[in-house]
Every structure is written in C-alpha cells, then in structure tokens.
Amino acid sequence: MKIISYNVNGIRAALLKNFTEWLLSENPDILCLQETKAQPDQIDTMLFAKMGYTSYLHSAQKKGYSGVAIITKQAPDNVVIGMDFPLYDGEGRVIRADFGDITVICVYIPSGSSGDLRQIFKMDFLKEFALYIENLRKTRPNIVVCGDYNICHKPIDINHPERQNGVSGFLPEERAWLDEYEAAGMVDSFRVFNQNADEYSWWSYRGGARFRNAGWRIDYNWVSEPLRNRLKSAAILQDAIHSDHCPVVVEIDEI
C-alpha cells in the first residue's frame, strides 16, 4: 500500500501545474490531500476518476479555506468525515477511511502563526485530536495518520533551529505534544528510514527559501506501533512543485 500525503495549498491551483501528470507518474494507492481550499462542486473529481481514483472530500464551511480529501484506488470499507467535533469539523480538518485492517486518517492541523487566538485554537485542537486517535486505536489499532501537522518535531526538522525560538510550529508545547504522541505509540515513518538533516517538506514563498532549502519538516506519515514492522519505505518527494509544500510518501505491507 503506497500512501502519499500532500498539502497542495489549493487543489485548483495545483491542477494548473501538471498535478494529474505527477499523480499518474507516482501512482499511489491512496492520496491524502490537505488545504484543498475548495468546495466539493469546485473540485473536478472526474479527473481523478479517469485515473481510477474515487474521491472523498471534507471541505471547510468557509469557502477557499482549509479542507482535506482522501483519493483512493482501493475501495474503502468505511469512510468517516470529521471527528464528531463541530468546532473543528466546520474547518474541514479530518477525514478517515478504513481499508481492511488499516485505517488511514488525513489531517490538517491548524496553524497558529496568525496570532494568539489561533495558537490557542491549535493547542485545543491538538488535545482533542490526541484523544480522538487514542480512542480510535482501541478498535482500529493499525493507523496511518497522514497530513500537515504544522509542527517541526526536533531541531533536525527545521532550518537554523537556534533562530526559531518563540515561533509557532516550533514552540516547546507543540514539540512536547509530538513527544507525547510518539510516547503513546505513534511512529514517525520517515525517521525509521532517514536520519539526515536538511530534509524538509515546506518552504516559505519569501526570500527564495526553497532554492536555499531553508525549510521545515511539518508534513508527516505517522503510523501506530503495530505497523512499524510492516513499513517498507518512507520518503519526502522534494521534486514535486505544485505548492509551498511537497508530498511525503510511505509504503506499508498489506496482510
């Protein structure tokens, strides 16, 4: 099972940048998208259907904002929209699909960079999301949680960490949340295979950050501990340029 997670920063904009050609070339079984920034009637799902994919969408109530999607070649046994938490579900942040014994969750964790109120909103979301994952794992122990977490976990995951003190996305409390997430039995699949520095998945559009590789690793495919031994590979696909993010991929053995 090949799963790609990608914050496209607007699916309609990405489609104008040869996104479908890239998708044909990568040929994932499951594609998890974040920040689609479109209502369902604004996404041409027939483009994906022609490639053998079925699209499951969760858009924000606010037009042109947030939104997640799971686009899959495999027919899911079950699809659940949201966390059953209206405050967050109205922003289109979580969608779940079950495939046999594996559950795939696509999440777009809020950014706190616009100010204190959104940082509080982000931390509250993280608390509820951790409970959501904890409860789900009681009945669905094999979970892949794909998405834009808007957090760099460790200094290795961000350029010049010494300059990032007090910056949302690298705050001690955010990083502590990922520490607790990991301690609770979640595995950062990329770090199972790659311990190198300078491996990033997001770059600011400002100052030629991508050219300089002054990036952040905030996009992840975390898996629950029972899936660790079924991991085949994980990587960051930095050559894909449809967004200020790039895709991240994980391959898992199916039973």
Residue-by-residue DSSP string for 68-79: EEEEESSPPSEE
pLDDT (average), residues 80-95: 98
Cα first-last separation, the chain: 10
- What are the extents of the domains in the chain? 2-252
Q: Which residues contact 109 (CB under 8 A, 6 or more apart)?
A: 93, 122, 125, 126, 129, 147, 148, 149, 150, 151
pLDDT value of residue 70? 98
Give residue-wise pLDDT tens across range 42-76: 999 999 999 999 999 999 999 999 999 999 999 99
Q: Is the pLDDT of residue 29 over 80?
A: yes
* Exposed/middle/buried for residue 70 (C-beta within 10 Å: 0-12, 13-18, 19+): buried
In this prediction, residue 254 has a pLDDT band, given cuts at 50, 70 and 90, of: confident
Q: How confident is the model at residue 12 (pLDDT cuts 50, 70, 90)?
A: very high
CA 105/CA 154 separation, integer angstroms: 23
Residue range 122-169, pLDDT digits in tens: 999 999 999 999 999 999 999 999 999 999 999 999 999 999 999 999
Query: Catalytic residue positions?
Result: 148
Of 31, 36, 87, 91, give the one whose Cα is nearest residue 61: 91
Q: pTM value?
A: 0.97
CATH of domain 2-252: 3.60.10.10
Using CA atoms, how far residue 112 sits from 149, 168, 183, in Å, is 11, 6, 24
Q: What is the DSSP letter of 194?
A: -
pLDDT band at 174 (very low <50, low <70, confident <90, very high): very high
Q: How confident is the model at residue 195 (pLDDT cuts 50, 70, 90)?
A: very high
pLDDT at 255: 74
